[in-house]
Chains A and B, each alone.
Chain A
Amino acid sequence: MAPQLQRHNGFDIFIHWFNAACWLFLAATGLGLIDNPALNPLGNGYPRVLRALFGSGGNLLLAHEIVGGLWIAAFLLYLVFNLRGALFFLREVFSVSPARDMTWMLKKQIQMTMGEKMLLRLGLDPHLPPQGFYNMGQKAFAQAAIVGSLVIALSGMVMVLSQLTLDSDRTILVAWAIMLHYLAAGVVFAGLLVHVYMAAIAREERPAFISMFTGTVPEDYARHHHLLWYEQVCGGAAPTPPPGALPLDPSRGAAPAPRKGG
């Protein structure tokens, strides 16, 4: 087996797949909760089928609310048990180096849709600028997912609270929450299509997909796709692997990461 680098810890892997399962269920049931000929993004039959599947519209709403609550609770627990990991993730995701990352984003899109030859034809250097722990595409989706999830969670809570405590003269908040809930979910879903393709279908990113199960990526993949991170972990004087990450082979240069609480 090729030398591996630790990329995700158990909490990351769990929350990623738990989130994926929740999103799938919440997107499917949420779309079924919209039923108005002026809206229905998938046609008028979809909400009918979903409601029949759950027995009634009320059951569908209840299931959506329960899973939505579990989803929020899981993220709160993730923050409690893996705060350092979460902060590392947030810092990486929101640190954008405009010149390098925008160039990467532009070139990557040309490369993925029209090929590297197009980059050459346009007189561009086919090399992409080196990327850190996340590349700009991953960062862009993560940013949308984080901001979108906050909007989705908060607006969802407003809708649940509407039935529990909200006064009649404040219902405009609920109406705005419904609009924002759909908007945020729609934007995240658009990004999700690209995320699923890049991670699970495109061959190039296969090691990253596998790392969402094993937690590790091959060293040469890290060097090729995340050079700045690779240099930080393997080449630099002060290696800083992600928290909780322990290089499988410490002899390769990376110091063992400090363990939380120990």
Chain B
Amino acid sequence: MSAQYAMIIDSSRCIDCRACVAACKVANKVPEGFWRNWVKQSLPVPVAGKPGRGHFQPGACMHCEKPSCVTACPTGATYKDASDGIVKIDPKLCIGCGNCIPACPYGARYRDPVRRIADKCNYCPERRAQGLAPACVDTCPTKARVFGDVNDPESEAGRLLRANTNRLVRVVNTKTDTQPHMYYLAATAPLDWPAEAVIRPPMAALIKAVTPGVSALVGLAAVGVAVMAGREFLAGKSKDHEPRDRS
């Protein structure tokens, strides 16, 4: 079985220090005003007699099983790598059309204002190449984020996933469930924030109307040519076309 790198998050451990956010920005040189990861907050709701409890939820690109960003990309510049399950961006192929950005229900993508192409979490390949964990995982003081190949039963992530099969929470928008590979343990909050994946109108038109329309038109032209060729070369040419005196 090929690898599926994923993150298992025990959000009850998160203290909202945002060291993960800072570490990610430094490790990946994320431009000012943009983030590859986040900590979402569920604000405490005071109930009479009891102190309210808040909850912090670390997150990032969820490297989904059915990534709607990949569906929205016309060129395959955004793709799910079959070898490791990581959703990646080919920076040489991406032209920054922006289709993938509203297609992500989790707001995990942004268009880099300097390189003018899509960008998001890629699980720090440079660090992993040197045997290090992604920056956010490495820096977390409470070890709320666990990273690894969940298809490898020996990995910490794999063991954690198997041990908690019945208590895993996926944060999704049910209208467009992309089957994230970001697993929250036991319970997490907030849960209502993922948006519906949006395939922008030009891409929707390309998928639903333009591509089948062009194929039909080219097919029609090919049939026309085949009929003409059949008439000319197979049916035997009559004297239809001898130049004729018009007078």
| B180 part of interface (Cβ distance < 8 Å) | no
Let me know if A194 and B221 touch, CB within 8 A.
Answer: yes
Instruction: Establish whether residues B206 and A39, one from each chain, have CB atoms under 8 Å apart when the complex forms.
Output: yes
- CB-based contact A35/B75 at 8 Å: yes
CB distance from B81 to the nearest CB of A (A): 13
| Interface pair B222/A193, CB less than 8 Å apart | yes
Is B214 in contact with A187, judged by CB distance below 8 angstroms?
Answer: yes
* Binary flags per residue of B191-231, CB closer than 8 Å to A gives 1, else 0: 00000000010110111001101110110111011011101
- CA–CA, A73 to B211, complex, Å? 29
Residues of A within 8 A of B221 (CB): 190-191, 193-194
Q: Which residue of B lies closest to A159 (CB)?
A: B95
- Whether the pair B202, A175 counts as a contact (CB closer than 8 A) is yes
Contact partner of B98 (CB less than 8 A), chosen from A59, A127, A174, is: A174
A70 at the interface (CB under 8 A from B): no
Number of residues of chain A lying within 8 A (CB) of chain B: 56
Residues of A within 8 A of B225 (CB): 193-194, 197
Which A residue's beta carbon lies closest to that of B79?
A: A35
B203 & A186 in contact (Cβ 8 Å cutoff): no
Instruction: Give the size of the chain B interface in residues (CB under 8 angstroms).
Output: 53
- The answer to whether A57 and B210 touch (CB under 8 A), given A163-B116, A179-B202, A197-B229, is no
Interface mask (A213-229 → B, CB under 8 Å = 1, otherwise 0)? 00000001000100100
Q: Which residue of A lies closest to B224 (CB)?
A: A194
Q: Does B175 contact A (CB under 8 A)?
A: no
**B228: chain A residues within 8 A (beta carbon):** 112-113, 197, 202
Residues 207-245 (chain A) with a chain B CB within 8 angstroms: 220, 224, 227
Q: Does B159 make an interface contact (CB < 8 A)?
A: no
Across the interface, do A175 and B77 meet the contact criterion of CB distance under 8 Å? Answer: no
Whether the Cβ atoms of A115 and B240 lie closer than 8 Å is: yes
Least distance between B232 CB and chain A CB atoms (Å): 6
Given A113-B228, A162-B96, A168-B111; A183-B76 close (CB under 8 Å): no
In this assembly, does B74 line the interface, its C-beta being within 8 Å of a C-beta of chain A? yes
Instruction: Choose one: B71, B90, B96; the contact of A174 (CB below 8 Å).
Output: B96
Question: 7 shortest A-B CB distances, which residue pairs?
Answer: A58-B92, A171-B98, A186-B214, A35-B76, A57-B93, A175-B202, A190-B221
For the complex with contacts A39-B211, A111-B240, A168-B113, 10 further pairs of A-B residues with Cβ separation under 8 Å are A39-B206, A41-B214, A57-B77, A117-B238, A162-B96, A168-B110, A175-B97, A186-B215, A187-B217, A203-B237
- Would you list 8 pairs from A and B whose C-beta atoms are within 8 A, ordered by A residue? A36-B73, A41-B214, A57-B75, A160-B95, A163-B116, A175-B98, A190-B221, A220-B243
Residues of B within 8 A of A (CB): 70-71, 73-77, 79, 90-93, 95-99, 101, 110-111, 113, 116-117, 200, 202-203, 205-207, 210-211, 213-215, 217-218, 220-222, 224-225, 227-229, 231-232, 237-238, 240-241, 243-244, 246
